[in-house]
């Protein structure tokens, strides 16, 4: 077998493994996370893949994407982009943090042109590690509100998510709910479910409170939630919602799309769990509900910069936004595009009014506060 052929087989094998392992990815599946063991397989033949991809990427007709998203609808969009532009999208899927490590490790040799991951906090980390580059695009600045992209345009929101209070319809009347802060009151003792502080979503919500209410109030909130936790933090957002329905606690702090995912599940038990909880948008009379994004960046060492920008522009277009957001039951970032029927049924809400760049700026301080109050 010729060396070239061997390399190609390696590349195909690695690609197949990547696709298989991608199902777990960064975003949790509705119920059973199975990703841990599998993702490691991806590492094995990396050097071989890199040399093969290097040959391919000299072709101007490609854009190479690292993404923690793994939805069928995304792939349909990539195909549509190829149809419209002739640019082929090569996709490497994986867990967000592992892809970030890989991008860092590969340095200037990376083939990744575009990086897509969840949370402005993660995107800010990429920027801090100098793995992104500034993009000057009128299309992107027109399609994406200022607060949903980096101050220096080194990353851009693609979808928007809300972190809300999910409550048991059996045991909680929504009239009892008001703000995130109110969940620290004694009446909620041992009733609040929320995941670990190691999770970026919680770091980002606390980072937002530092910005809006000051550090002291943010710390007080974190301490008050620890006081009222129904159990030690464990699992992801879906696990908190499941625990509400199981009666372990009465309210959970969760991103809305996890409830959407349960409601759209093919498993009737999951649908039932989704139906047994309500969504409450907190802080409507005060600072607004915490929002975050998943987003994209052009990598620092992108070889196909123009294609990368075209690709991200396409994902923010009216044509693509509905489908892209719908893939994960999220809100479009492009204000011209309507949310899905399900999201619309939860109603409109007042959002926190902060520039999401702040979530990165305040991240380290948020982690410190969590440690100080003993939030595991």
What are the binding residues for Fe cation?
Answer: 70, 257-258
Find the residue with minimal CB distance to Fe ion. Answer: 27
Considering the complex, state which of residue 299 and residue 329 has its C-beta at the smaller distance from Fe ion.
Answer: 329
In the complex, minimum distance from the CB of residue 23 to Fe ion, in angstroms, rounded to a whole number: 14
Q: Which is nearer to Fe ion, 199 or 213 (CB)?
A: 199
Structural tokens at position 183: 């969940």
Closer residue to Fe ion, CB minimum distance, 27 or 250: 27
Quickly count: other Cβ atoms within 10 Å of residue 1's Cβ: 8
Subset of 17-76 contacting Fe ion (CB under 5 A): 27
DSSP state of 270: H
β-bridge pairing 192-193 and 251-255: parallel
Closest separation in Å from C-beta 292 to Fe ion: 9
Closest approach of Fe ion to the CB of residue 26, in Å: 7
Of the pair 27, 326, the CB lying nearest Fe ion is at 27
End-to-end CA distance of the chain: 54
CA–CA separation, 120 and 125 (whole Å): 9
Stated length of the chain: 376
Least Cα distance to 308 among 74, 7, 61, 35 occurs for 61
CB of 143 to Fe ion, least distance (A): 23
> Residue 304 has which token pair?
């196909």
User: Cβ 27 to Fe ion, closest distance in Å?
Assistant: 4
Cβ nearer to Fe ion, comparing 228 with 294:
294
CB of 227 within 8 A of CB of 245?
no
Q: Which two tokens stand for residue 288?
A: 């607004």
CB of 118 to Fe ion, least distance (A): 6
Kindly give, in sequence order, each residue whose CB lies less than 8 Å from that of residue 323, ignoring residues fewer than 6 positions away.
73, 76, 77
Block residue for tokens 């190609």:
8
Q: Tell me the binding residues.
A: 70, 257-258
Asked whether 26 and 67 are in contact (CB, 8 A), the reply is no
Q: Which is nearer to Fe ion, 27 or 53 (CB)?
A: 27
Q: How many residues bind Fe ion (CB under 5 A)?
A: 1
**Which residues in this chain contact Fe ion in the complex, by CB under 5 A?**
27
């Amino acid at each position: 077998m010729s060396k070239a052929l061997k390399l190609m087989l390696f590349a195909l094998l690695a690609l197949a493994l990547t696709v298989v392992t991608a199902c777990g990815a960064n975003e949790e599946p509705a119920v059973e996370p199975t990703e841990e063991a599998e993702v490691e397989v991806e590492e094995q033949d990396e050097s071989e893949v890199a040399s093969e991809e290097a040959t391919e990427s000299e072709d101007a007709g490609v854009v190479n994407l690292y993404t923690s998203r793994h939805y069928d609808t995304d792939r349909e969009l990539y195909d549509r982009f190829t149809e419209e532009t002739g640019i082929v999208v090569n996709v490497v899927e994986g867990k967000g943090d592992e892809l970030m490590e890989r991008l860092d490790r590969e340095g200037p040799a990376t083939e990744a042109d575009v990086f897509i991951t969840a949370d402005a906090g993660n995107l800010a980390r990429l920027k801090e590690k100098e793995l992104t580059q500034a993009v000057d695009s009128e299309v992107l600045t027109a399609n994406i509100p200022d607060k949903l992209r980096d101050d220096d345009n080194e990353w851009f929101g693609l979808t928007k998510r809300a972190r809300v209070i999910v409550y048991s319809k059996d045991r909680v009347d929504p009239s009892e709910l008001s703000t995130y802060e109110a969940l620290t009151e004694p009446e909620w003792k041992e009733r609040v479910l929320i995941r670990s502080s190691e999770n970026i979503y919680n770091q980002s919500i606390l980072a937002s409170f530092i910005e809006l209410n000051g550090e002291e109030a943010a710390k007080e909130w974190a301490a008050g939630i620890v006081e009222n936790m129904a159990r030690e933090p464990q699992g992801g957002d879906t696990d908190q919602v499941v625990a509400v329905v199981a009666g372990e606690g009465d309210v959970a702090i969760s991103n809305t799309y996890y409830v959407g995912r349960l409601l759209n599940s093919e498993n009737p038990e999951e649908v039932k769990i989704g139906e047994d909880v309500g969504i409450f948008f907190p802080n409507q009379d005060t600072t607004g509900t915490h929002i975050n994004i998943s987003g994209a960046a052009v990598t620092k060492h992108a070889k196909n910069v123009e294609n990368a920008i075209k690709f991200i522009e396409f994902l923010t277009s009216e044509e693509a936004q509905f489908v892209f957001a719908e893939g994960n039951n999220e809100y479009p970032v492009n204000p011209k595009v309507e949310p899905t029927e399900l999201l619309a049924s939860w109603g409109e809400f007042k959002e926190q009014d902060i520039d999401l760049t702040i979530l990165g700026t305040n991240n380290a301080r948020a982690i410190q506060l969590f440690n100080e109050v003993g939030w595991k």
